[in-house]
Amino acid sequence: MRSFEFVENKYKKNNESAFMPKRATKNSAGYDFYSPTEVRILPHTMQMIWSDVKAKINENEVLITCVTSGMGKKGLIMANGIGVIDSDYYGNENNDGNIGFMLLNLSENEIIIKQGDKIGQGIITNFFAVDNEKEITEVRKGGFGSTVKTC
């Protein structure tokens, strides 16, 4: 079963009310995410915006997050290109699965994102593992960026 839910109160990053992601049209692939608070992003700087929303998806699925084309027109991109939200990110012990958008302002102007403005979109899709993969027993122990390891 797939669903979006608000994170538990103790994991919320914003004092204002969060918005549930939704599709803009009947055939939209992406669910629009909205800023729960006003944010100012200075030129050539990054700013994390937490949605205060988590995604419950099946084990063989992933939520891919990215900016909208309208954000790109303003000079905003995601600092990491795209976001990959694994099914085990939901409910993790560090942030309950709070989905964040790390936005980078490439423009020469300050960009103001108002409460309720779109901050990105998410697309749920299946993924496949190779057949000859060694069994993985590692379990997620953290939130945003927790699976990053040095080689």
For 105-131, the pLDDT digits (tens) are 999 999 999 999 999 999 999 999 888
Q: Which domain holds residue 62?
A: 3-126
pLDDT digits (tens, 9 = 90+) for 77-89: 999 999 999 999 9
The answer as to whether 11 is a domain residue is yes
What gap in Å lies between CA 120 and CA 134, rounded to an integer?
35
Question: Does some domain include residue 117?
Answer: yes
Helix (H) or strand (E) holding 62: strand 61-66
133 inside domain: no
Domain tally, the chain: 1
Q: What is the pTM of this model?
A: 0.87
Can you give the CATH number for the domain in which 115 is found? 2.70.40.10
SS3 71: helix
Alpha carbons 114 and 88: distance in angstroms, whole number: 30
Radius of gyration of the chain (CA): 16
Task: Write out pLDDT tens, residues 52-84.
Answer: 999 999 999 999 999 999 999 999 999 999 999
